[in-house]
Structure 1
């Protein structure tokens, strides 16, 4: 049986500001539907991703700015950092770890994201051997 994550809620205070931010950094605006008086559903998908995020009214009880555990994989961390900063997103990086290169950014509400360029596995294996770590 397959199980796939397809939608993650991101709590925001201003739906239109958040939608503009995510589309500016490259997410596709898939849906924006006012379902009823208390429910507005906005779905956004990062380029190349099978998983989307949703923002809106009546979507989640999480406090805006508290979604701090979303990570995406990118092919090139430096290019991702350059792209984010070129469109006005405050991004930090590139954080070089044995398990990959990381770039961090937050949306206007403070929801935090990590972008990871997967490691060169030969380099990772050498690091594991050097540090006596075999349980990754």
Structure 2
């Protein structure tokens, strides 16, 4: 049996503002924008280009059993992978997203510029609520090389 990661819930304070950020500035594809039930809650599902995993922004949904609701802006460690970090940075900057320079990690911490290893080039940004994202350059799959 396969277990696939398909959806991540991103806690936001304003669905319309967050939808505009992810769709217009990050280039995510809007899949769904719907109410749960008449007059009760709403969810917005968006998918990064080329990904099978989507994010969901929601408001008004009852808390899941055993799953306390996260505060808007409290999510960290979300990571996207791209095959060209410079092109990804240029696309985000071109759409008005505030991103860090390309960085790499070394023995004394983070430093500006690309890393020597194929996995060691990153940039970071936050959504309007402060949820933190990393973008990592990852080598293209063998089928694409």
TM beyond 0.5: yes
Match 1:80 to one of 85, 88, 96: 88
Asked if 1:35 corresponds to 2:55, the answer is: no
The one-character-per-residue Cα deviations of 1:93-131 (angstroms, maximum 9, x if unpaired) are 2012444210101100000100100269xxxxxxxxxxx
Distance, in Å, in 2 between the alignment partners of 1:71 and 1:2 is: 21
Match 1:112 to one of 114, 127, 132: 132
Q: Normalising by structure 2, report the TM-score.
A: 0.77
- TM-aligned CA deviation for residue 29 of structure 1: 0.3
Match of residue 122 from structure 2? 102
SS at match of 1:105: strand
SS at match of 1:72: strand
How many equivalent pairs are there? 120
SS at match of 1:92: coil
8 Å CA contact retained: 1:11, 1:67: yes
* Structure 1 runs of 4+ with >2 Å offset: 96-99
* Runs of at least 5 residues in structure 1 that lack an aligned partner in the other structure: 121-136
8 Å CA contact retained: 2:124, 2:134: yes
Most deviating of 87-96 and 40-49:
87-96
- TM-aligned CA deviation for residue 81 of structure 1: 0.9
Structure having the higher helix fraction is 1
Asked if 1:90 corresponds to 2:98, the answer is: yes
SS at match of 1:13: coil
Root mean square deviation, CA, Å: 1.6
Asked if 1:69 corresponds to 2:77, the answer is: yes
8 Å CA contact retained: 1:101, 1:119: no
- TM-aligned CA deviation for residue 88 of structure 1: 0.6
